[in-house]
Structure 1
Amino acid sequence: MTATLPVKISFSLPDGWQAAPPDEVGAPNVAFVALHPESVDGGFTANITISGEMRNDGATMSQIADESIPRLEQGGTVRVLKKTEVGTPDIPGLTDAPGVVQNLVLSTTLRGEPAELCQSQFYLGVEDVKNPAKRAVIEIVLTAKQNQLAEVIDDFKEFLRTVRPTDDEIADSPGE
Protein backbone atom coordinates (compact mmCIF):
# COMPACT_ATOMS: atom_id res chain seq x y z
CA MET A 1 0.00 0.00 0.00
CA THR A 2 1.36 3.39 -0.98
CA ALA A 3 2.42 5.52 1.97
CA THR A 4 1.49 9.15 2.52
CA LEU A 5 3.72 11.99 3.65
CA PRO A 6 3.16 13.72 6.99
CA VAL A 7 3.59 17.13 5.33
CA LYS A 8 2.70 18.33 1.86
CA ILE A 9 5.63 19.08 -0.42
CA SER A 10 6.01 20.38 -3.93
CA PHE A 11 8.73 19.52 -6.43
CA SER A 12 9.49 19.39 -10.15
CA LEU A 13 10.85 16.33 -11.92
CA PRO A 14 13.72 16.94 -14.33
CA ASP A 15 13.25 16.04 -17.99
CA GLY A 16 13.49 12.31 -18.66
CA TRP A 17 11.98 11.23 -15.33
CA GLN A 18 8.51 9.69 -15.04
CA ALA A 19 6.32 9.23 -11.99
CA ALA A 20 5.31 5.62 -11.33
CA PRO A 21 2.77 4.07 -8.92
CA PRO A 22 4.83 2.86 -5.93
CA ASP A 23 2.86 -0.38 -5.54
CA GLU A 24 3.34 -1.27 -9.21
CA VAL A 25 7.13 -0.83 -9.15
CA GLY A 26 7.77 -2.75 -5.94
CA ALA A 27 8.04 0.20 -3.55
CA PRO A 28 4.89 -0.09 -1.44
CA ASN A 29 6.16 1.82 1.60
CA VAL A 30 6.95 5.08 -0.18
CA ALA A 31 4.71 7.97 -1.15
CA PHE A 32 6.28 8.75 -4.53
CA VAL A 33 8.51 7.06 -7.12
CA ALA A 34 10.10 8.54 -10.22
CA LEU A 35 11.89 6.37 -12.79
CA HIS A 36 14.55 7.30 -15.36
CA PRO A 37 13.66 4.91 -18.23
CA GLU A 38 16.67 5.89 -20.35
CA SER A 39 19.06 4.56 -17.69
CA VAL A 40 17.87 0.93 -17.58
CA ASP A 41 20.81 -1.44 -17.00
CA GLY A 42 20.32 -5.17 -16.66
CA GLY A 43 16.66 -4.67 -15.82
CA PHE A 44 17.37 -2.04 -13.12
CA THR A 45 16.06 1.49 -13.59
CA ALA A 46 17.55 4.42 -11.70
CA ASN A 47 14.88 5.83 -9.42
CA ILE A 48 13.98 8.50 -6.90
CA THR A 49 11.73 7.66 -3.96
CA ILE A 50 10.10 9.92 -1.40
CA SER A 51 8.85 8.76 1.99
CA GLY A 52 8.28 10.39 5.35
CA GLU A 53 7.35 9.94 8.96
CA MET A 54 6.57 11.86 12.10
CA ARG A 55 9.44 12.18 14.56
CA ASN A 56 8.69 13.48 18.03
CA ASP A 57 12.01 12.41 19.52
CA GLY A 58 15.21 14.40 19.84
CA ALA A 59 17.11 12.54 17.12
CA THR A 60 19.27 14.73 14.92
CA MET A 61 18.97 14.54 11.14
CA SER A 62 22.37 12.80 11.11
CA GLN A 63 21.12 10.15 13.57
CA ILE A 64 17.99 9.67 11.47
CA ALA A 65 20.16 9.15 8.37
CA ASP A 66 22.17 6.53 10.31
CA GLU A 67 18.94 4.59 10.92
CA SER A 68 18.75 3.69 7.23
CA ILE A 69 21.93 1.62 7.44
CA PRO A 70 20.63 -1.34 9.52
CA ARG A 71 17.47 -1.34 7.38
CA LEU A 72 19.55 -1.59 4.19
CA GLU A 73 21.91 -4.17 5.71
CA GLN A 74 18.98 -6.60 5.76
CA GLY A 75 19.47 -6.81 1.97
CA GLY A 76 23.27 -6.71 1.78
CA THR A 77 26.43 -4.92 2.85
CA VAL A 78 26.42 -1.12 3.21
CA ARG A 79 29.35 1.29 2.94
CA VAL A 80 28.76 4.94 3.85
CA LEU A 81 30.87 7.09 1.56
CA LYS A 82 29.97 10.56 2.83
CA LYS A 83 27.51 12.34 5.08
CA THR A 84 27.03 16.12 5.01
CA GLU A 85 24.68 18.38 6.94
CA VAL A 86 23.00 20.99 4.75
CA GLY A 87 20.88 24.01 5.47
CA THR A 88 23.26 25.39 8.10
CA PRO A 89 24.82 28.86 7.82
CA ASP A 90 28.16 27.22 6.95
CA ILE A 91 26.70 24.98 4.24
CA PRO A 92 23.67 26.45 2.48
CA GLY A 93 21.12 23.76 1.81
CA LEU A 94 19.42 22.51 -1.26
CA THR A 95 16.19 23.67 0.36
CA ASP A 96 15.49 26.27 3.04
CA ALA A 97 15.18 23.67 5.83
CA PRO A 98 18.05 21.81 7.55
CA GLY A 99 18.84 18.32 6.39
CA VAL A 100 21.46 15.67 5.80
CA VAL A 101 22.78 14.18 2.57
CA GLN A 102 24.25 10.70 2.90
CA ASN A 103 25.90 8.77 0.06
CA LEU A 104 26.37 5.03 0.31
CA VAL A 105 26.90 1.83 -1.64
CA LEU A 106 24.76 -1.26 -1.09
CA SER A 107 26.22 -4.61 -2.18
CA THR A 108 23.22 -6.85 -2.75
CA THR A 109 21.65 -9.21 -5.27
CA LEU A 110 19.23 -8.34 -8.06
CA ARG A 111 17.42 -11.21 -9.75
CA GLY A 112 19.89 -13.62 -8.15
CA GLU A 113 22.98 -11.77 -9.44
CA PRO A 114 25.40 -9.72 -7.31
CA ALA A 115 24.96 -5.96 -7.75
CA GLU A 116 26.22 -2.73 -6.26
CA LEU A 117 23.66 0.03 -5.90
CA CYS A 118 24.60 3.61 -5.10
CA GLN A 119 22.26 5.68 -3.00
CA SER A 120 22.19 9.37 -2.34
CA GLN A 121 19.82 9.94 0.57
CA PHE A 122 18.49 13.35 1.53
CA TYR A 123 16.73 13.80 4.87
CA LEU A 124 14.69 16.96 5.34
CA GLY A 125 13.27 17.99 8.72
CA VAL A 126 10.09 20.09 8.73
CA GLU A 127 8.81 21.53 12.01
CA ASP A 128 5.21 22.60 12.47
CA VAL A 129 5.27 26.39 12.97
CA LYS A 130 2.23 26.16 15.26
CA ASN A 131 3.60 23.27 17.32
CA PRO A 132 7.43 22.92 17.22
CA ALA A 133 7.21 19.61 19.12
CA LYS A 134 5.79 18.08 15.94
CA ARG A 135 8.40 17.30 13.31
CA ALA A 136 8.09 15.54 10.00
CA VAL A 137 11.09 13.94 8.34
CA ILE A 138 11.05 13.52 4.59
CA GLU A 139 13.45 10.97 3.05
CA ILE A 140 14.31 11.45 -0.63
CA VAL A 141 16.54 8.77 -2.14
CA LEU A 142 18.23 8.33 -5.51
CA THR A 143 19.14 4.70 -6.22
CA ALA A 144 21.26 3.80 -9.24
CA LYS A 145 23.90 1.35 -10.36
CA GLN A 146 27.42 2.79 -10.46
CA ASN A 147 27.39 3.07 -14.27
CA GLN A 148 24.02 4.91 -14.17
CA LEU A 149 25.09 7.43 -11.53
CA ALA A 150 26.88 9.90 -13.80
CA GLU A 151 23.76 10.10 -15.99
CA VAL A 152 21.33 10.84 -13.13
CA ILE A 153 23.15 12.52 -10.21
CA ASP A 154 22.87 16.06 -11.60
CA ASP A 155 19.15 15.47 -12.18
CA PHE A 156 18.83 14.42 -8.54
CA LYS A 157 20.55 17.59 -7.34
CA GLU A 158 18.29 19.65 -9.61
CA PHE A 159 15.26 17.80 -8.24
CA LEU A 160 16.28 18.45 -4.62
CA ARG A 161 16.56 22.18 -5.29
CA THR A 162 12.85 22.19 -6.18
CA VAL A 163 11.57 20.40 -3.05
CA ARG A 164 9.59 22.68 -0.73
CA PRO A 165 7.07 22.16 2.05
CA THR A 166 3.77 23.62 0.78
CA ASP A 167 2.12 24.58 4.06
CA ASP A 168 3.01 25.32 7.66
CA GLU A 169 1.00 22.61 9.36
CA ILE A 170 1.99 19.00 9.60
CA ALA A 171 -0.82 16.55 8.99
CA ASP A 172 -2.10 14.83 12.10
CA SER A 173 -0.73 11.35 12.58
CA PRO A 174 -3.18 8.54 13.22
CA GLY A 175 -4.00 8.40 16.90
CA GLU A 176 -3.28 12.07 17.60
Structure 2
Amino acid sequence: MPSPMPVPLELRLPEGWHAASPERVGVPDAAFVAVHAQPDEGFTANVTVDSAYRPDAATLAEIGDESVRNLSGVAESLNLTSRHEIGSAAAPGLTQTLTLTTVVRGVLRELAQSQVCLSLLDVHDPDRRMVVRLILTTTAAQHDDLLEDFRDIVATVHPAN
Protein backbone atom coordinates (compact mmCIF):
# COMPACT_ATOMS: atom_id res chain seq x y z
CA MET A 1 0.00 0.00 0.00
CA PRO A 2 1.58 3.35 -0.98
CA SER A 3 2.28 5.74 1.83
CA PRO A 4 -0.30 8.51 1.77
CA MET A 5 0.92 12.05 1.35
CA PRO A 6 0.18 14.20 4.42
CA VAL A 7 -0.93 16.86 1.94
CA PRO A 8 -2.08 15.76 -1.53
CA LEU A 9 0.24 16.97 -4.28
CA GLU A 10 -0.07 17.22 -8.03
CA LEU A 11 2.64 17.10 -10.69
CA ARG A 12 2.93 16.74 -14.44
CA LEU A 13 5.01 14.15 -16.24
CA PRO A 14 6.87 14.99 -19.44
CA GLU A 15 6.54 12.86 -22.56
CA GLY A 16 8.18 9.47 -22.16
CA TRP A 17 7.20 9.05 -18.49
CA HIS A 18 4.18 7.33 -16.98
CA ALA A 19 2.87 6.57 -13.51
CA ALA A 20 3.46 3.08 -12.13
CA SER A 21 2.36 1.14 -9.10
CA PRO A 22 4.90 1.62 -6.28
CA GLU A 23 4.55 -2.07 -5.38
CA ARG A 24 5.20 -3.20 -8.97
CA VAL A 25 8.35 -1.09 -9.16
CA GLY A 26 9.60 -2.33 -5.78
CA VAL A 27 9.23 0.86 -3.71
CA PRO A 28 6.04 0.21 -1.73
CA ASP A 29 6.73 3.08 0.69
CA ALA A 30 6.61 5.68 -2.10
CA ALA A 31 3.46 7.74 -2.48
CA PHE A 32 4.02 8.07 -6.24
CA VAL A 33 6.28 6.49 -8.86
CA ALA A 34 6.89 7.38 -12.49
CA VAL A 35 8.96 5.27 -14.87
CA HIS A 36 10.70 6.17 -18.10
CA ALA A 37 9.65 4.45 -21.30
CA GLN A 38 13.23 3.68 -22.45
CA PRO A 39 15.16 1.29 -20.16
CA ASP A 40 18.96 1.42 -20.29
CA GLU A 41 20.62 -2.00 -20.33
CA GLY A 42 17.67 -3.51 -18.49
CA PHE A 43 17.28 -0.78 -15.84
CA THR A 44 14.23 1.48 -15.96
CA ALA A 45 14.81 5.04 -14.78
CA ASN A 46 12.27 6.13 -12.21
CA VAL A 47 11.10 9.06 -10.13
CA THR A 48 9.74 8.39 -6.67
CA VAL A 49 7.91 10.84 -4.45
CA ASP A 50 7.40 10.56 -0.72
CA SER A 51 6.74 12.97 2.10
CA ALA A 52 6.38 13.17 5.83
CA TYR A 53 5.61 15.67 8.52
CA ARG A 54 8.86 16.69 10.20
CA PRO A 55 8.05 18.21 13.60
CA ASP A 56 11.75 18.08 14.53
CA ALA A 57 14.23 20.90 13.93
CA ALA A 58 16.29 18.94 11.38
CA THR A 59 17.65 21.13 8.61
CA LEU A 60 17.21 20.09 5.01
CA ALA A 61 20.94 19.29 4.91
CA GLU A 62 20.45 16.94 7.87
CA ILE A 63 17.47 15.36 6.12
CA GLY A 64 19.66 14.98 3.02
CA ASP A 65 22.30 13.29 5.20
CA GLU A 66 19.61 10.87 6.46
CA SER A 67 18.75 9.99 2.89
CA VAL A 68 22.42 9.32 2.09
CA ARG A 69 22.78 7.13 5.21
CA ASN A 70 19.67 5.14 4.29
CA LEU A 71 20.94 4.58 0.76
CA SER A 72 24.38 3.55 2.02
CA GLY A 73 22.74 0.49 3.57
CA VAL A 74 21.98 -0.96 0.12
CA ALA A 75 24.92 0.40 -1.89
CA GLU A 76 28.29 -1.24 -2.33
CA SER A 77 29.74 2.21 -2.97
CA LEU A 78 28.15 5.63 -2.61
CA ASN A 79 29.38 9.15 -3.31
CA LEU A 80 27.62 12.44 -2.69
CA THR A 81 28.78 14.44 -5.72
CA SER A 82 26.89 17.70 -5.20
CA ARG A 83 24.54 19.47 -2.81
CA HIS A 84 22.87 22.86 -3.15
CA GLU A 85 20.30 24.80 -1.20
CA ILE A 86 17.49 26.12 -3.39
CA GLY A 87 14.32 28.14 -2.99
CA SER A 88 13.73 30.90 -0.48
CA ALA A 89 13.37 31.27 3.28
CA ALA A 90 9.60 30.85 2.85
CA ALA A 91 9.96 27.77 0.62
CA PRO A 92 13.40 26.23 1.12
CA GLY A 93 14.72 23.21 -0.71
CA LEU A 94 17.81 21.10 -1.12
CA THR A 95 19.17 19.25 -4.14
CA GLN A 96 21.80 16.56 -4.02
CA THR A 97 23.29 14.18 -6.54
CA LEU A 98 24.75 10.79 -5.70
CA THR A 99 26.50 8.05 -7.61
CA LEU A 100 26.29 4.51 -6.36
CA THR A 101 27.02 0.92 -7.16
CA THR A 102 24.37 -1.53 -6.04
CA VAL A 103 22.78 -4.82 -6.97
CA VAL A 104 19.37 -4.48 -8.64
CA ARG A 105 17.52 -7.73 -9.38
CA GLY A 106 20.75 -9.69 -9.22
CA VAL A 107 22.77 -7.34 -11.47
CA LEU A 108 25.51 -5.00 -10.21
CA ARG A 109 24.59 -1.52 -11.47
CA GLU A 110 26.30 1.86 -11.68
CA LEU A 111 23.47 4.26 -10.85
CA ALA A 112 23.00 7.97 -10.30
CA GLN A 113 20.39 9.68 -8.15
CA SER A 114 19.24 13.26 -8.07
CA GLN A 115 17.27 14.07 -4.94
CA VAL A 116 15.20 17.15 -4.18
CA CYS A 117 13.82 17.89 -0.70
CA LEU A 118 11.19 20.62 -0.46
CA SER A 119 10.00 22.04 2.83
CA LEU A 120 6.36 23.12 2.98
CA LEU A 121 4.84 24.86 5.99
CA ASP A 122 1.19 24.43 6.90
CA VAL A 123 -0.38 27.85 6.26
CA HIS A 124 -2.74 27.31 9.20
CA ASP A 125 -0.06 26.01 11.59
CA PRO A 126 3.52 27.09 10.70
CA ASP A 127 4.91 24.67 13.31
CA ARG A 128 3.78 21.80 11.06
CA ARG A 129 6.39 21.22 8.38
CA MET A 130 6.05 18.69 5.60
CA VAL A 131 9.13 17.61 3.67
CA VAL A 132 8.53 16.30 0.16
CA ARG A 133 11.30 14.22 -1.39
CA LEU A 134 11.53 13.56 -5.13
CA ILE A 135 14.20 11.15 -6.33
CA LEU A 136 15.34 10.43 -9.88
CA THR A 137 17.23 7.13 -10.17
CA THR A 138 18.91 6.25 -13.47
CA THR A 139 21.87 4.35 -14.81
CA ALA A 140 25.00 6.46 -14.69
CA ALA A 141 24.94 6.63 -18.50
CA GLN A 142 21.32 7.86 -18.69
CA HIS A 143 21.40 10.43 -15.88
CA ASP A 144 22.41 13.52 -17.84
CA ASP A 145 19.84 12.77 -20.56
CA LEU A 146 16.95 12.52 -18.06
CA LEU A 147 17.95 15.26 -15.60
CA GLU A 148 16.04 17.98 -17.46
CA ASP A 149 12.88 15.85 -17.39
CA PHE A 150 13.32 15.51 -13.63
CA ARG A 151 13.72 19.27 -13.25
CA ASP A 152 10.53 19.73 -15.25
CA ILE A 153 8.68 17.33 -12.94
CA VAL A 154 9.96 19.09 -9.81
CA ALA A 155 8.92 22.48 -11.23
CA THR A 156 5.30 21.31 -11.54
CA VAL A 157 4.86 20.01 -7.98
CA HIS A 158 2.18 21.88 -6.07
CA PRO A 159 -0.51 21.16 -3.44
CA ALA A 160 -3.67 19.68 -4.93
CA ASN A 161 -6.73 21.89 -4.89
Q: Give the TM-score normalised by the residue count of structure 1.
A: 0.86
Matching of residues 1-176 of structure 1 within 5 Å: 1-38=1-38, 40-76=39-75, 77-88=77-88, 97-166=91-160
Identity %: 40
1:43 counterpart SS class: coil
- 1:31-51: CA deviation from partner (whole Å, max 9, x where unpaired): 00000022x123210000000
| CA apart distance, 1:88 | 2.8
1:147 counterpart SS class: coil
- 1:48-79: CA deviation from partner (whole Å, max 9, x where unpaired): 00001110000111111110111111111210
For residue 103 of structure 1, what is the amino acid of its counterpart? T
Structure 2 Cα separation of the partners of residues 157 and 41 of structure 1: 20
For residue 62 of structure 1, what is the amino acid of its counterpart? A
Structure 2: stretches of 5+ with no match in the other structure? none
1:67 counterpart SS class: helix
For residue 147 of structure 2, what is the amino acid of its counterpart? I
1:121 counterpart SS class: strand
Structure 1: stretches of 5+ with no match in the other structure? 90-95, 168-176
For residue 72 of structure 1, what is the amino acid of its counterpart? L
Q: Give the TM-score normalised by the residue count of structure 2.
A: 0.93
Structure 1 Cα separation of the partners of residues 140 and 26 of structure 2: 21
| CA apart distance, 1:121 | 0.3
| CA apart distance, 1:30 | 0.2
For residue 141 of structure 1, what is the amino acid of its counterpart? I
**Alignment root-mean-square deviation, CA:** 1.5
Between 106-115 and 143-152, report the one with greater CA deviation. 106-115
